[in-house]
Structures are given as C-alpha cells and as structure tokens.
Amino acid sequence: MMTEGITVYLRMRPTTQPSEDYDVGADGRSLMIRDVAAKAAGRDSQRAFKFDQVLPMDITQAQVFERVGKRVVQNALDGYNSTVFAYGQTGSGKTFTITGGSERYEDRGIIPRALSMIFQEFRSRSDCSWSAHISYMEIYNEQGFDLLNESSGVKALQDLPRVRMMEDEHGNFHLRNLSMHRATSEEEALNLLFLGDTNRAISETAMNQASSRSHCLFTVFLECRGAGGSDKVRRSKLHLVDLAGSERVHKTKSDGITLNEAKYINTSLFYLEMVIVALNERNENARDHIPYRNSMMTSVLRDSLGGNCRTVMVATCSAEKAQTEESISTCRFAQRVALVKNDAVLNEETDPSVTIARLKAEVASLRARLEGQGRGDELADGRDPDHRLAAALGRIRLQEAALADVRATTSRFFGFEIEEEEMRARMAAALEPIIRAEPLAMTGLDEDPAQRQYNVVGGGGVGVGAGERGATRRDGGRPGREPRGGGGVNGGERGAARGDGREVEARLVSDRSSERVCEPPAVSPDSTGTRENRLRRQLEAARSRMRKHEQMRDWLLRRRREEEAAALAEEEAARRARMREEERDARDRRRRAAQKRKMSEEYYVLKSTRATETTDIRSF
C-alpha cells in the first residue's frame, strides 16, 4: 500500500484581456491573485496559492497530456487505479482539457490521447494478454444515464436507461444498468467516445455557448494476464472525469430548465466540497464518517477521493478580472484537495481459472505416469488387467468384512449390559434340570470337581469317599474335617435326625477358569421349589432388563433436554444479535439524518454568505 496525496495542476484559460491581478510565480508552481473586493473591505487583498504545477495560457494540448495524462495512463497500465478530473467554473476550459476540441486534430484532449497511448502500449507490451472495456456515464440532475446505450428510438437524454447505485455488504458501490463495451483497437474506443458525446446534455448560457450541464465519467477497465501460462492477473480502472462547472446565476442568467440544472450542479459540487473537508479532518483524526452517499457523483468517485487510487486534479480558471472571485474559490478548493491522502495498491491477484487449468494438467500428467508405471509392473509380473481388477475386488471385500465386524463390535459394546442379563437368564433356564431339591453347602474349593465336598443342610452329610461317622476324606481316604451334619455316604445321625423332608434348594458352583459345572450327588428334587426358583430368577432378570431400559430412556431424555436447552440458548443469542444490529442501524439512520440537517444548514449559511458577498461587490 502506498499513501500519497492528490496531484493538483492549475490551468489558466487563454484570454485576450488577461488581468494584471494574476501573477504566476517564477517557479511555475504558485499563483498570486489580488482581490480588489477584499481590499475595498479593508482585508488583505493578496491571495497566494501553491500547486504541483501551473500550466501557462500558451500551453498546447499535447504538452498538457505529457505533463498530466501520460503518468496517469502509465499508472493504470501498471495495475493501479487512476483518475483525472477537471474542476472549475463554467466556461473555464474543463471539457476542452478532458475531451478536447472538435475542429482541429491538434486540439484532442486527454481522453483521445490516453486511448491512443493505451493501445500503443498493448502492442509494445507483448509479454501480457491485454483487454480493454469502456463505459461512459452522465450524471444529470442527480440521475445517472448510460451514454453508450445502443437502444433504438432514443431521441433525448431521458430516453436512455437509468443507472442505479447499489451498495454491497462491504460498503462498495456498484453501477447497475451501466453497459461495458470491449474495444480491441483505438478506432473502436474513439467511436465509443464519439457516441457518448453525441448523447451528452449541453445548453447555452451567457458565459458558455456549449455549457456541459452534467458530470461525465469516461472509464477504461484494463486487464492484463501474464503470458506463458502465468496465473497472475492485473486489473485496473482509469477514470477520466469532466465535472460540470460551478455557476453564479446572475452571471449565467439562467432561468427555467437551465436554472434547475444549475441548482443540481451547485448542490453536487457543494457535497463534493463537503467530502473533501471531511477527508482533511479525517487526516487530522478529527472525523471518521465521510458523506459519500450525499450525491451520486461523490459515491462514484469514492475510490478516487481517499481510496485505492492515484488521482490527479486539473483546476481550471479564467485570468479575466471579472472572474476573480470564481478563480479564488477554485484555487481554495484545489488547496483542500491537495491535502487528501489516497492509499493506492497494486491490483494483482491470482486467476482461479488459470490455476485450476494448471492443476488439472498436473493431475492428468501424474495419472498418466502412474498408469504407465502400473502397466509396466503388470507386464513384468506376467499379470493382465483382469487379474489386477480381481485382486482389487478381493481387497475391497476384505475391507467390507472388516467394516462389518467393527460395526457389530460397536453395536455389541453399546448393548452389552442388556445382553449380559439376557444371557444369564437363558443359562439359568438351561441349567435348571441339574438343580437339586436340597441345598448343598460346599466345604472345599478344589479345582477338580471330583474332589469337591458338599454338605446337605437338611440331612446327612454327603462326601466323596466319606466314612461311616460322617468324616470327610480326600486323596485316598485321608481324614478330613467333620461337617456339621455328619459325614459318610449314608449320612450321620445328626444329619438324619434333622433331615425331616423339609424343602431344600441345591447351589451350583461353577469353575470359572475351566467353565465346567460340578454336578453334586443325586438328591431327590422338589419340583415345586425348582419351579418357584426358576420363576424367581426370571423375574429378577426381567427386573434387571427393565432397570437397564429405564436407564437408557432416562439418558435419552436427559440428552434431548440438553439439546433443546442448547438450541434455545442459540436462538436467544441470535435474537439478541438481531436486536443489537437493529439498534445500531437505527443509530446510524439518526446520525445520517442529523448530518444531513447539519449539511443543509451549512449549505444555506454558505449560500447566504456568498449572497452577502455578491451584494457587497455590487455596492462596491
């Protein structure tokens, strides 16, 4: 980004009666004007102004382009937005400077000479692929018109399509219904210029026989694409602007339509001056808002005034004594414009279409290399393409099988608790035939099921290899600990005394390491107790499954409530954001309304001040 000021030139219109009140400095960059009216009022009559260069009255159109226009066109060709605009009172030579005269070829203005230079550079800069598009717009009575519209039946300016201003979300202005025409040669570009000039609004006033009654913007859009497949593209625009001249009604003797035109012209120029003042205040950190939207002309020139552009101003004035007041006003405005700072940047970017084409070519090249390498490997291995496809199909099937296994494992992982309860219930029902009527108390935890010992709670002891007195023996009849209910195969006396036919229940002990079930000695089962136990276990399993389902339901409900709460919170945040945005928009509207009222008051104050000064001059 390059920050630079606006370059300001002053051009003096040739006259047969130059006033001695105008004195150009020896350095060719200053102008001294003696204000007779100020001297009569007792004020300082010397007005000194500084410019980048003062163009003398005898300068030719070719010299004006060499000093003013050539550098601007060069900047546009290098990729920078550029603007040249002429400002001054009516009849001071603005249109002659920008467009030129129509009688002699030597009187060509900046626009035709710029077009000639552009196409000459196109031919000399063969390293790029150039293209140029042209638009020509006129702002008449604060309404935009497309001067290059080729519709049939156009007899007046009002018959042309209206150009609308559109602003996007980034604050950039776009012109709707403004046509753009591609020019492939200097001749085509000049034909577009002549077509637009024939549609311009021109009227006769007391100060100018062919006075421009509108602001005109001739724009050339340039595009340069790098040669050799480069993906860089430069885009720039060149504005060549002929502003309507400020008018004093009592001098131009305007009435009727010309009076109404003068009102719109002076109002838009006043808004232009307000923008310049605001930009100067922004440079001093005293103001942030710039009133570009007040008029269509300032909106279109937004980039040229304080934006991404390199801008040149040509201030035109007349050296006659009768125009001293207007000349001083023009020079004051030029001094304010010179203080404006622009931030010009090189408009170069990567062309997406070129990048995509290059990447596609690389992909095709790599694919061809891979296919060639794969075919070479197949020929070396003695394989054919069908064999390769079969191998690829086998790999895909293996991947699908692995994916199905992962899905099954994941599903089982999330439902393992419910499945476990169901499995336990099925196992209990399957093992029901081995459940015995009397409960057994296991007195040993030997890993060998044949060596495990059981004790019948309600009757005589039962043991593998037990003695007559109920002594439990292990490993070849070694005496063991006597259980409570006696030992032996026939049972002890205390066990027989207590075995009164009471309902008992057998306990199953399973070996978890070997997953084998130890079957206790045969005892007469009680079918009633067995059925009740089975029903009890089934009931417990059903209750357990019910609890698991309730836990799952509670978890789903809790998750749903959390999602609803999050959605409500998000909706509330969005509603608050919309309210804040609406409040901000309301504040902006109030601020714009207040600013508009303030500018209207300033305009009427300025108008009354100028009227007072005019009255003083008349009285003088």
**Which range is least confidently modeled, 11-15, 93-97, 396-400?**
396-400
Higher pLDDT, 386 or 353: 353
**C-alpha span between 212 and 243 (Å, rounded):** 8
Contact 222, 65 (CB under 8 A): no
pLDDT band at 416 (very low <50, low <70, confident <90, very high): low
pLDDT band at 449 (very low <50, low <70, confident <90, very high): very low
What pLDDT does residue 245 have?
81
Locate 327 and state its tokens: 């000349």
Q: Which among 134-143, 209-218, 283-292, 466-475 has the top mean pLDDT?
A: 134-143
**C-alpha span between 10 and 319 (Å, rounded):** 12
Mean pLDDT, range 228-240, rounded to an integer? 84
DSSP state of 105: G
Q: Phi and psi for 248 in degrees, rounded to 5?
A: -105, 120
Is residue 124 a known part of a binding site? no
**C-alpha span between 93 and 91 (Å, rounded):** 6
Three-state secondary structure call for residue 344: strand
Is residue 7 a known part of a binding site? no
The distance of Cα 184 from the centroid of its chain, to the nearest Å, equals 34
Strand ranges, E, within 453-587: 454-456, 473-474, 478-479, 510-511, 516-517
Residue % of the chain over a pLDDT of 90: 22
pLDDT band at 170 (very low <50, low <70, confident <90, very high): confident
Is residue 69 a known part of a binding site? no
Contact 183, 198 (CB under 8 A): no
Span 3-15, pLDDT tens digits: 889 999 999 988 8
**C-alpha span between 152 and 156 (Å, rounded):** 12
Contact 586, 578 (CB under 8 A): no
Residue % of the chain over a pLDDT of 70: 67
Is residue 495 a known part of a binding site? no
Q: Phi and psi for 88 in degrees, rounded to 5?
A: 170, 180
Contact 597, 261 (CB under 8 A): no
* Partners of 202 in beta bridges: 212
Mean pLDDT value across the chain: 75
What pLDDT does residue 485 have?
42
Mean pLDDT, range 308-314, rounded to an integer? 95
* Partners of 108 in beta bridges: 100
Is residue 373 a known part of a binding site? no
Is residue 88 a known part of a binding site? yes
**C-alpha span between 43 and 41 (Å, rounded):** 6
pLDDT band at 445 (very low <50, low <70, confident <90, very high): very low
Is residue 443 a known part of a binding site? no
Is residue 321 a known part of a binding site? no
Mean pLDDT, range 181-200, rounded to an integer? 90
Mean pLDDT, range 169-198, rounded to an integer? 88
> Taking 90 as the threshold, does the pLDDT of residue 142 lie above it?
no
**C-alpha span between 193 and 96 (Å, rounded):** 14
**Which range is least confidently modeled, 10-19, 319-328, 439-448, 466-475?**
466-475
